[in-house]
Structure 1
Amino acid sequence: VSPRVRSSLFLKILLVFLGAFTSIIVYASVSYWYFDWERQRLSVQTTAINYAQFILEELGHPPDSSRAREVSEQLEIGVRIEGPGVDWASSQSFPTFDEVNLPEYEGMAMSRAGLTPSLGLSADVIHEDYRYLLALQAGGMAPGSSNTSEDIADVLFMMILLACVYLLTRRLLQPVRVLSDGVEQLRSGQLEVEMETRRTDELGRLVVSFNEMARTVRERIKARDQLLLDVSHEIRSPLTRMRVALEMTEDSKAKQSIIQDIEETEAMISELLETERLESEHGGLEYAPTDLS
């Protein structure tokens, strides 16, 4: 699996839909060929045999070549007749019996019928001493097959269907992309991130939960900063009193050490207060161009 597929939820879902759709198509095709082929074949053969019997009645018995030509031209069919004293075909290019492979018809002995690419709907029947090969309808195809235009239409339909599925899936999973952007902003320190959604499903609730989480983080950080600020203010007064009291004592190493500790503590408090002032709404630095020439 390529890295792009592993890192893209949209592509994974599309592949799942594609696999499911392909499986359905394969299953439907196999079922159609398995359950419907025999029924279609028998239906086509029955139609061909019934039509052939009608033609045989028109040809008469024994068959006459002039009558056969008349029937062939009138009905626009191909005819070949073999029998005692007769070996006739409606055209010189009309195939022989050996050149045409038709499946046997179980409903009539010594009869074959079906569809062939060259002759279309055809029948090969034996009536008394004569054998007839009849091309009843040209342009036929085997049962279950389809023409090129139908195949192209099916492919286009499947492509359009897959495109619609992809676009719909992308729209349904749009909150995932929004969440990804929001998490990236939060990770970079943009605590004021807030994502909008009108969805009420699971992904919509996930966006709402993320907004609540970001809001909670902001409030806790603000509470922490406020606590540090309050503590800093409260500590300054005792430190000042301690410093005044120390000024009234005699100089010693202990006094200097305590004064140094007080100064370090005051420096840290001043740094905290200055940081809070700079981060406040009206206390931040404002950058402006200045002409130094």
Structure 2
Amino acid sequence: MHWSQSLSLKVLVVFLLATAALLLVLSLTLDMTFRGLFSDNVKPYFTRHLMGLQNQVGVPPDINVAKRLSEQNGVNIEIDAPGYRWSSTGKFLNAEQLDVKLQRVDKSGIVAEAGFYQGNFVLRTFNQGHIISFMLTEKISPTLNRHELWFALGATVVILTLLYGVISYLFRPVAAIERGVRRIGNGEVSYRLVVPRSDEIGLLAASINKMADNIEDMLEAKRQLLLAISHELRTPITRSKIALSMVDDEAIKKHVSEDLDEMNRLIHELLESERLRGNHTPLSLHRANLNDIVYQVQGRYFDDAPLLLDLDDSLPDFIVDAGRIGLAVKNVIKNALTANVSPDDTVLVATYANDQQVFISVSDSGCGIEEKNIAHLTEPFYRADTSRQRRTGGFGIGLYLIKAIVDAHHGTLQVDSLLNVGTTVTLAFPIKPRVDKGNSEAVPEAGPTDDIDD
């Protein structure tokens, strides 16, 4: 994860900025307070002390006395007199670095200025052309030495590390919530967040779980309604078939029978897809070969259809519900034949594999599908071309059922299409199945390929 996406780091940065701002305000406040206290209480004492040294040095200044006073009092003394300069340290003050204010401090009328020079208190007197500077050697605000600085830096690093750890711990459930919401958003509505917290984050997780409960309940209610309606529709269809057998007009009987068969297939596909999506029906898993399933589908339903088979002879076996896989393959081929512009146009059926999956792709040479419609093709009763008739466009349930079968086997369905070129539908299935509790039976070591459901 990029640092800009980390909530913990963002909170830490905000904390650091706030701390820096508070330290700046505190530093300025302390500096102003110190200067006020120093000016009112300490500065007069230092000034009187240094003026006492000034009186002992005298005017004109006695260098020997100045040297002795410097050694005894821990004060650097500098004399700037007409014709010479002298300093107890051999170094002279840089006037540009002086931070002093002019003032009268003596009854004799000696003019003086007091302030700071590089953190040290300094008093400068002006008398008869002589400038005498007295500077305390001890700094009023001493800076950190090297050891103190390294200790401060180390302590800062430790504190920041602990702070980041605490913030990361507090926000750790956010990552779990994000992953859980993504899983629920991808259709895994039975997933629930586990966040054992009683704070705002825990309440958020509980609200998301409640939302997922409501979504799952609504979807289950929709499934149950669809299953009930589909079951109820079979009774009048059966009665209609019985009544149809008594009709003498063969033409009418044929057309009505085709319509009833189409309705029966639609109901079967609806029931099958909802059973698979709702885990109502277990998969009957057996070892099978995808090529065998393709041959069986071709021989049973498309013996005279213009199919071009390109099947990989070295295709490995995989463990699936062969009947339902055959139903998916049949529907994909049927859709491709329907999509072709001419009944004589061929449909290419190819199989291949890699180390993890086996694939079957079915390609037509129809008019193609617009990209904006591809994502909706697996929705029930969705048709990209709303003007198409039932005979050419179907009921929009075929790919919905195919997707349900593929999902039940933990596979993938991909649709690639170009306008005026054609469409390729690719189904991928794992070679080693991932068995879900409650949605599969025991897997035999070997077994026959199941018959394909109608």
* Mapping of residues 34-49 of structure 1, within 5 Å: 34=32, 36-41=34-39, 43=41, 45-49=43-47
Deviation at 1:269, TM superposition (A): 1.8
Deviation at 1:49, TM superposition (A): 1.6
Structure 1 counterpart of 2:283, one-letter code? G
Deviation at 1:181, TM superposition (A): 1.6
Match of 1:78 among 76, 81, 84: 76
Q: Report Cα offsets for 1:246-283 as digits up to 9, x if no partner.
A: 21332343332222222111111222333344442661
Larger displacement relative to structure 2 (281-290 or 179-188) = 281-290
Structure 2 counterpart of 1:254, one-letter code? I
Separation in 2 of the partners of 1:95 and 1:29?
A: 31
Partner of 1:103: 100
Q: How many residues align?
A: 283
Larger displacement relative to structure 2 (240-249 or 22-31) = 22-31
- Residue 248 and residue 97 in structure 1: after superposition, are their counterparts in 2 closer, same or farther (change >3 A)? closer
Match of 2:203 among 177, 190, 205: 205
Secondary structure of 2:46 counterpart: helix
Compute the TM-score of the two structures, normalised by the length of structure 2: 0.49
**RMSD of aligned residue pairs (Cα, Å):** 4.4
Please say if residues 101 and 114 of structure 2, whose CA atoms lie closer than 8 Å, have aligned partners that are also in contact. yes
Please say if residues 80 and 133 of structure 1, whose CA atoms lie closer than 8 Å, have aligned partners that are also in contact. yes
Secondary structure of 1:111 counterpart: strand
Q: Report Cα offsets for 1:129-167 as digits up to 9, x if no partner.
A: 9864333325x36x6x84465777777766666666555
Separation in 2 of the partners of 1:246 and 1:99?
A: 115
Please say if residues 175 and 203 of structure 1, whose CA atoms lie closer than 8 Å, have aligned partners that are also in contact. yes
Partner of 2:117: 116
Q: Is 1:93–2:90 an aligned residue pair? A: yes
Compute the TM-score of the two structures, normalised by the length of structure 1: 0.71
Secondary structure of 1:249 counterpart: coil
* Mapping of residues 1-293 of structure 1, within 5 Å: 5=4, 13-14=11-12, 16-34=14-32, 36-41=34-39, 43=41, 45-55=43-53, 66-80=64-78, 89=86, 91=88, 93-95=90-92, 101=98, 103-104=100-101, 106=103, 108-109=105-106, 110-117=111-118, 120-125=120-125, 132-137=132-137, 140=139, 146-147=143-144, 167-279=165-277, 280=279, 283-284=282-283, 286=285, 288=287
- Residue 125 and residue 268 in structure 1: after superposition, are their counterparts in 2 closer, same or farther (change >3 A)? same
Q: Report Cα offsets for 1:50-105 as digits up to 9, x if no partner.
A: 33245457668997655544443333433356889xx8956472538989946246
Secondary structure of 2:121 counterpart: strand
- Residue 128 and residue 47 in structure 1: after superposition, are their counterparts in 2 closer, same or farther (change >3 A)? farther
Q: Which structure 2 segments of 5+ residues have no match? A: 290-315, 318-454
Secondary structure of 2:198 counterpart: coil
- Residue 103 and residue 214 in structure 1: after superposition, are their counterparts in 2 closer, same or farther (change >3 A)? same
Please say if residues 105 and 112 of structure 2, whose CA atoms lie closer than 8 Å, have aligned partners that are also in contact. yes
Q: Which has the higher strand share?
A: 2
Structure 2 counterpart of 1:108, one-letter code? V
Deviation at 1:24, TM superposition (A): 3.2
Please say if residues 79 and 87 of structure 2, whose CA atoms lie closer than 8 Å, have aligned partners that are also in contact. no
Deviation at 1:227, TM superposition (A): 2.1
Separation in 2 of the partners of 1:97 and 1:182?
A: 68
Partner of 2:408: none
- Residue 288 and residue 113 in structure 1: after superposition, are their counterparts in 2 closer, same or farther (change >3 A)? farther
Secondary structure of 2:283 counterpart: coil
Separation in 2 of the partners of 1:99 and 1:230?
A: 96
